[in-house]
Amino acid sequence: MNTEEIKWISYYGKDISAISCSFHEKLNKYGFCLVLDEYGSDKATKAQIGILDTVLEVQTPNILLICPRHLMHSWYRCVVTGNGVDFKMISGSSKAITYFNEKASNTYIIAEEALEADNALMQKFVDAGLTWDLVIIDAGLSTSGIKCGLYTEHLKAKTNKLVILSPVPCGYHQSYDEIKSLVKALLADENKANAVDDISFDEKSICFNPYTPVMRYFDKSVYNGEVARNVVMLEYEFPQDFISNSRRLIDIKTGLPLYAQGGNVFEEYGLEAKKTYTKPSYNIADVQELRQVDKKLDCFLTKLDEVLKSSENRAVVYCVTGSTIQYLKKVISALYPNINGLLKIDRGDIFNTRYDNFTNDVRDNARVVLTVDKIGSINPQVKRFTHIFNYELPDSPVIFEQRAARHGGRNEQSREFIVMCDKNNLFDERMLSKVLFGKIYKSIVAGLPGRNVLFDLPNAAQLITDAIRDLQYVCSYTGEVSNCHDLITQFKGDYNISPSIDISSAAKTHEYTKLKLDKIYRAFGLENRIKENTSTEEKVLKPMIKEALERFSGALLYLDDQQHIVALGGAALEECLYSEQYHSYKEQCSTLDISAGIKAAQKAFENFITDNKNAELRLCVNMLPDTVKMPVLLNSWRYLTDNFMIQETFRQFMKKYNEGVM
């Protein structure tokens, strides 16, 4: 075994599928790859492959990974304990230590927020006249397109290779020109950068083919028609007199509700039972009292109890506010005090200490995780949930879709995506109908087919109909009556209108709702079927919506140039997978250097261990560059523990290795 052979052991444990090999091929061929896959797809493997490929090729690699600040630690564990490549996390502080040496390798993880600061590292890199060997931009959590201006303005050095990760690369009514300009601004090779002009961001992007640096691939089951998620709707209802006799908590200055998420009745209304609600901890009697008042909590706990009956089930519960997370934590802790390690809370950096890649030990495997929407999708632990609860709902339909997609395509049809909805039309129903479906046009990407879990809701037609008719009423009323402050205030509260949007007068509210209705009409193709400034009866409107939803069923969706939602399904969708070049390209990917090299290295490595050629192995490793030694040794240890039943930590392995007694 020589150094060229042994380096491939660095890839051990990676999912070297046809798609992963395709990414490797595209990145090397074009110099850049736009990974626009569905949120929750395996972007960690792609990033790891890009980093390893660079480390194995370049003697002193310069690599930069940019991500949101709260995902820095997740990416650090992904590339350090996953790859064995040392990265340093860079803050935005001008006084921070930069660890920069122009003659050594420079591998950094930096928060996108820090790019806007007066960053000394970026300037030092430029002053040294260096070029990045690889830049990875993780814009996966973006809800309205990639912030191209941020990177073109603050990344002052070019890069030899560029990877951009984003399921929503372009926001509503935006063009892809900015993305093309971003590639041209960052890529060092102008000839390769100019290839971005030939990219058509359209429905053909989901076809598995070698002729584009764009990747927007789905699980095979999606192409075969399994598009819809397994949505379970849980309905609950408060007594009408309870609502009418309760006082909603209002901000005195704005007149708007203090709590806007529709998921926690104790935060939204002033109730007598709030004395119990605010206790630092609960007992069984407290929980029973809260369940009698909070019908949503009662509905949730009934389902959770069913889920926990099987030891194989694991649930993630999405919340928006910290107060609701604490509420559920106290309730669940009181109900299940004897289940060790049952409950954990993650507020943005999920599973930060759950799995130790240097001991192969799962230190914590909580069965119920309470979390928020900022968590990433990098760690494999997020793929292991069997039930997804939506206890509080987000303001953005894109974030709602992220909840469904984050946990991966495997076992998707058996995994329950649980949505709660009240019959009072005041809490979750308001959020679903007015807030999420009220922005439905923002959740479909222009040109690029994708999924949308909102259309999988069993009562979607009714929710959309209710939202349109309510908007029609507000639009009509504000167009006729100039003094309607109370209606405008209620409208702001019902639709969670951002304070940055000025609808302070009836005229402004009328124009805003008119524009909003036009966007919704266009999305469903109804702009020529509904007269302007008129209210449509439910019996007329609902069949139109149902007709559109039937078109969307079992299909991937995208916006065309007229902002209509276009459905790609049936045979047309299946043909996107089994295109004429599909089989030849898949076969090509399976015989690429990366795939063949890994298989050969594993066989050669096995022969080394079998023949007990430790000295020769150490000789090969010592001949490798410093940046490559750790990936080879880390994955050698993984290979041994996985295939030879050797139970030892990486520290123990290295001690034996250094002593020559492996």
Q: How many helices (H) and strands (E) does the chain have?
A: 28, 19
Query: According to the model, what pLDDT value does residue 602 have?
Result: 65
Encode pLDDT of 195-217 as tens digits.
999 998 999 889 888 888 999 99
Query: According to the model, what pLDDT value does residue 13 have?
Result: 77
Tell me the HSE value of 508 on the side-chain side, using a 13 A CA sphere: 10
Which pLDDT band, with edges at 50, 70 and 90, does 651 fall under? confident
Short-list 441, 553, 442, 537, CA closest to 143: 442
Query: According to the model, what pLDDT value does residue 492 have?
Result: 94
Query: According to the model, what pLDDT value does residue 167 have?
Result: 92
Query: According to the model, what pLDDT value does residue 7 have?
Result: 76
Q: Where are the beta strands (DSSP E) in 286-336?
A: 315-318
Query: According to the model, what pLDDT value does residue 360 have?
Result: 53
User: Which CATH fold topology does 3-217+577-591 show?
Assistant: Rossmann fold (3.40.50)
Chain CA centroid to CA 40, Å: 5
Torsion, CA 474, CA 475, CA 476, CA 480, rounded to 10: 100
Q: Is the pLDDT of residue 613 over 60?
A: no
Query: According to the model, what pLDDT value does residue 210 have?
Result: 82
Q: How far apart are CA 487 and CA 495, in angstroms?
A: 12
Parallel/antiparallel/unpaired status of strands 361-362 and 269-270: unpaired
Highest mean pLDDT among 16-25, 172-181, 193-202, 276-285: 276-285
Q: Two tokens at 563?
A: 């902002």
Query: According to the model, what pLDDT value does residue 622 have?
Result: 83
Encode pLDDT of 573-600 as tens digits.
888 877 767 777 777 776 666 667 666 6
Query: According to the model, what pLDDT value does residue 94 have?
Result: 65
Residue 157's H or E segment, with its range, is none
Percent of the chain exceeding pLDDT 70 equals 90
| Residue that has been written with the tokens 């490559």 in this structure | 628
Q: Average of pLDDT values for 212-239? A: 92
SS3 content of the chain, % helix, strand, coil (to 5): 50, 15, 40
The domain spans of the chain are 3-217+577-591
Query: According to the model, what pLDDT value does residue 211 have?
Result: 85
Q: How far apart are CA 534 and CA 469, in angstroms?
A: 10
The mean pLDDT of the chain is 87
Q: Phi and psi (nearest 5°) for 37?
A: -60, 165
Query: According to the model, what pLDDT value does residue 169 have?
Result: 92
Q: Which amino acid is at 364?
A: D
Which pLDDT band, with edges at 50, 70 and 90, does 453 fall under? very high
Encode pLDDT of 102-143 as tens digits.
888 899 999 888 887 767 778 888 888 899 999 999 998 889
Query: According to the model, what pLDDT value does residue 639 have?
Result: 81
Q: How far apart are CA 189 and CA 186, in angstroms?
A: 9
Which pLDDT band, with edges at 50, 70 and 90, does 354 fall under? very low
Query: According to the model, what pLDDT value does residue 20 have?
Result: 83
More confident residue, 34 or 657: 34
* Sequence-separated (6 or more) residues with CB below 8 Å from residue 505: 482, 488
Query: According to the model, what pLDDT value does residue 177 have?
Result: 93
Q: Is the pLDDT of residue 478 over 90?
A: yes
Q: Average of pLDDT values for 72-77? A: 87
Burial 619-657 (b: 16+ CB within 10 A, else e): ebbeebeebbebbbbbbbbbbbbeeeeeeeebeebbeeb
Q: Two tokens at 490?
A: 């209620």
Query: According to the model, what pLDDT value does residue 353 have?
Result: 38
Encode pLDDT of 617-629 as tens digits.
777 888 888 888 8
Q: Average of pLDDT values for 347-376? A: 63
Q: Average of pLDDT values for 265-281? A: 94
Query: According to the model, what pLDDT value does residue 627 have?
Result: 86
Alpha-helix residue ranges (DSSP H) falling in 31-176: 43-57, 72-80, 112-115, 120-127, 148-154
Q: Is the pLDDT of residue 313 over 60?
A: yes
Q: Two tokens at 116?
A: 């806007």
Q: Average of pLDDT values for 218-241? A: 91
Query: According to the model, what pLDDT value does residue 472 have?
Result: 95
Q: Is the pLDDT of residue 611 over 70?
A: no
Q: Is the pLDDT of residue 612 over 70?
A: no
Short-list 563, 566, 478, CA closest to 522: 563
Which pLDDT band, with edges at 50, 70 and 90, does 656 fall under? confident
Encode pLDDT of 398-442 as tens digits.
999 999 998 888 788 899 999 999 999 999 999 999 999 999 999
Chain CA centroid to CA 553, Å: 23
Which pLDDT band, with edges at 50, 70 and 90, does 350 fall under? very low
Q: Which amino acid is at 204?
A: K
Q: Is the pLDDT of residue 614 over 70?
A: no
